[in-house]
Amino acid sequence: MNECSTATVTASIRKHFTAVYKAAADFPDIPLFYQAMALIGSADALIKIVDKNDRGVPPVQTLLRLLDEHGFEPAKPTDDDRRHLGMLLAYVFKHVLQYEDQKANVPVEKNQWGIRTAALYYGRPDFIIVK
């Protein structure tokens, strides 16, 4: 079984995310990005996001719940904020964790972000997340 460290995940995001998702070029400049990165950089949070995805809960929904639990409240989430969160998690699952497929427009629970649907990722390679 392969290991994937949170340091590898966050380093890849910092180095390649905006090159892959050019529409998110401004995202690393806002507090939401820093808070999302803090959670993705936490092994406990990333394990929870991955585990919930593998049990049918879109990663965006889990990340939103974690942001709420950690007291992050968006001033007024924009359409770009919502899209960029989806792009960030798409990058993590497709480009870093190497999931093979996705299902779009999966309903998520009601949230203060106004996000109604998100992607779910399938085809998990054999790996564990480590600190």
Query: Which tokens in the block code for residue 27?
Result: 């995202």
Phi and psi at residue 122, in whole multiples of 5°? Answer: -130, 170
Reading the chain (131 residues) residue by residue, the pLDDT tens digits are 688 999 999 999 999 999 999 999 999 999 999 999 999 999 999 999 999 999 999 999 999 999 999 988 777 889 999 999 999 999 999 999 999 999 999 999 999 889 999 999 999 988 889 88
Residue in 30, 29, 45, 56 with CA at minimum distance from that of residue 92: 45
Neighbours of 72 (CB within 10 A): 16
Tell me if 120 sits within 8 A of 56, measured CB to CB: yes
Specify the pTM: 0.94
Phi and psi at residue 89, in whole multiples of 5°? Answer: -70, -30
Query: Which tokens in the block code for residue 80?
Result: 């770009």
